[in-house]
Amino acid sequence: MSTSLGIDIGGTNIKAAVVHADGRVAAFETSAWSGGAAADAFETIERLAAAVGDASGVPLDTCGCGCAGLVDHETGIVRSSPNLPQWHDVRLAEELARRLRIPVLVENDANAAAYGEYSAGAARGATNAVMVTIGTGIGGGIVLDGSIYRGSHGFAAEIGHSVIDLSGGVRCACGSTGCVEPLVNAASLVVQAKQRMEEGEESVLAERAAPLTARAVGEAAAAGDSLARRVTDDIGRTLGVLLANIVAYLDPDVIVIGGGVAAAGSSLMDAANAEFAERTAKYQGMATRIVMAELGDTAGVVGAALLAGSSRP
């Protein structure tokens, strides 16, 4: 059974794992890094690869590397990356293959995570799946009939920048207005709760000494705080509309929800599921399931490793 090295390069962390062909993780390491020059990332990756290789004691046949940003899957080049501002046309696959002395496949990080959940996580057994990762932004990944769908120019699944609020005025970091990303993210829970308190609404959250977090808003909602509940309900309802839109476009078996927004707990997802059920009642017999991600922090490394393993000649 082949065993692969999985790497996941983000803006603040690099992760590495040794992953068996069935998705089991034999060893896993994370290292903080600056998000600076590519050369620094290469050194961190070499060190992590040696560490997980030693820890697992398994020979590695191939490597898959997920990376934030616009990745050319065919050539293994990272064109650009909002989270890695110094990276332009970095020959990632070539450089890692030279250093690790195994074949390296490069993939966008959201696609790699979606492939991980599809192959060995919450979307196991599905034919078509969409993964929505909600943290500081919204990432998307589409897997259709076993293959990542990347689109014609590598921009598919940019669902955070689909417009759902044409006549609303919220501006997105991308320059457009009405995108779903600024409406549904982990920070928006905190921002909306603070705004309501400044407008004079009462909440148990006002008595907190520590800085407000998405988790705290979620916990207050679960405990029945009405302000926190209105915030999780509002954002959850908007998420439900996004999920219904994903069905309108792609009608998958399953939509997997991952990322920091899960910390907000069940109140937000209850609202999202209620809105989703209302919006999709018209598709009689439609049965897209909404599930929470299972692989957590390791989705990206598992997906990258399994992709590399599956594409071996």
Contacts with a copy of itself, residue ranges (CB under 8 A): 80, 126-128, 144, 149-159, 161-168, 174-176, 178, 238, 241, 244-253, 278-279, 281-288
Q: Across the strands, what pairs with 67?
A: 9, 108
Cβ closest to a copy of itself, residue 36 vs residue 283? 283
User: Residue 260: which of 137, 170, 173 has the closest Cα?
Assistant: 137
Q: Which amino acid is at 298?
A: T
Closest approach, Cβ 24 to a copy of itself, in A, equals 27
Q: What value does the CA radius of gyration of the chain take, rounded to a whole number of Å?
A: 20
Closest approach, Cβ 7 to a copy of itself, in A, equals 25
Closest approach, Cβ 142 to a copy of itself, in A, equals 8
Q: Alpha-carbon distance 269 to 165, whole Å?
A: 20
Cβ closest to a copy of itself, residue 57 vs residue 175? 175
DSSP structure string for 233-252: HHHHHHHHHHHHHHHHHH--
Pairing outcome for strands 3-9 and 13-20: antiparallel
Place of tokens 């966008």: 108
Closest approach, Cβ 260 to a copy of itself, in A, equals 22
Cβ closest to a copy of itself, residue 138 vs residue 264? 138
Please give the sequence-ordered ranges of beta strands (E in DSSP) within 204-298, or none if there are none: 254-258, 289-292
Write the Ramachandran bin of 76: left for phi over 0, alpha for psi from -120 to 50, otherwise beta. left
Cβ closest to a copy of itself, residue 54 vs residue 89? 89
Closest approach, Cβ 100 to a copy of itself, in A, equals 30
Cβ closest to a copy of itself, residue 85 vs residue 151? 151
Q: Alpha-carbon distance 54 to 58, whole Å?
A: 8
Cβ closest to a copy of itself, residue 134 vs residue 157? 157
Q: Alpha-carbon distance 286 to 264, whole Å?
A: 28
Closest approach, Cβ 43 to a copy of itself, in A, equals 29
Cβ closest to a copy of itself, residue 34 vs residue 147? 147
Find out whether 308 and 8 touch, Cβ atoms under 8 Å. Answer: no
Closest approach, Cβ 57 to a copy of itself, in A, equals 41
